[in-house]
Amino acid sequence: MTTSSSERGVSLGMPELPAPAYPDDVRARLEADAREIVARYPDSRSALLPLLHLVQSEEGHVTRTGMRFCADVLGLTTAEVTAVATFYTMYRRRPSGDYQVGVCTNTLCAVMGGDAIYEALQDHLGVGNGETTDDGKVTLEHIECNAACDYAPVVMVNWEFFDNQTVQSAKRLVDDLRGGRTVSPTRGAPLCTFKETARILAGFPDEREGAVDASGGAGPASLVGLRLAKGETAPARVVHPRDGGPHDAPQDGAVHDPSPTRHLSSHDAPQDTSASDPAHPAGPTAEEGE
């Protein structure tokens, strides 16, 4: 197995090349912010996560310079800081866009069209997972559950919710973001840039708080997931396989009012205990028997 020159340097005990330093004015500003963050905690090491958000708000991702700054402030090694920065996906390790567009591809969102949305946005933007458009506006990624299954499929932009999405609405969303047009999440605070979001996550005041309800609500929750779990079918919905296998023509629009018709299969249809396991029929609970 071959090793890079940097790996050989580490193995031979050679010092790592120093990270470039922040300009004096930037460092002075960050140090003032860092002192405020560290003062919140009884143990300074506990401030590492918000400090990483702070340096991310400066350059849009966590750079070697930012990690060196965190290490200096907290009296840690760069290895300790790097271990944390590389563990959490909320910290970007390379330049990214003003808007992080994440498409949920977890179970229900995928079934409801999340995979189709993600595939369509890859084609529409000409980027892959974790890649950024040439104009630096949008970074696309597929993400896991956002705890918003009632409004599947869900797209998040800088961690703000855009619920009940379709292929066409998601395309309009990214086009508006790239065109500098105002977009409103389906709930929560108005949208801000990724750098602004990072500063808020570092614990500094959210200037949007007065307008938290400006976007309205997400609308009525969908019962599709519940009905699918019961084995009830919905109108035809295309699910694009991630392995690139054959699939039907894409269909747009989210399904929110399926009509019960038949069970999908014996595995999808929940049954009473007595029917699924005759050896252990369901009976009254102890309280009911008393």
Q: Which two tokens stand for residue 92?
A: 């970007």
Give the pLDDT of residue 32: 94
Write down the pTM of the prediction.
0.66
The pLDDT, as a whole number, for residue 238 is: 45
Residue 84 · residue 125 · CB < 8 Å: no
- Distance in angstroms (rounded) separating the CA atoms of residues 165 and 160: 13
Give the whole-angstrom CA distance, residue 196 versus residue 256: 34
pLDDT > 90 fraction of the chain, expressed in percent and rounded: 44
> What's the confidence (pLDDT) of residue 10?
40
Residues of the chain with pLDDT under 50: 1-14, 236-274, 276, 288-290
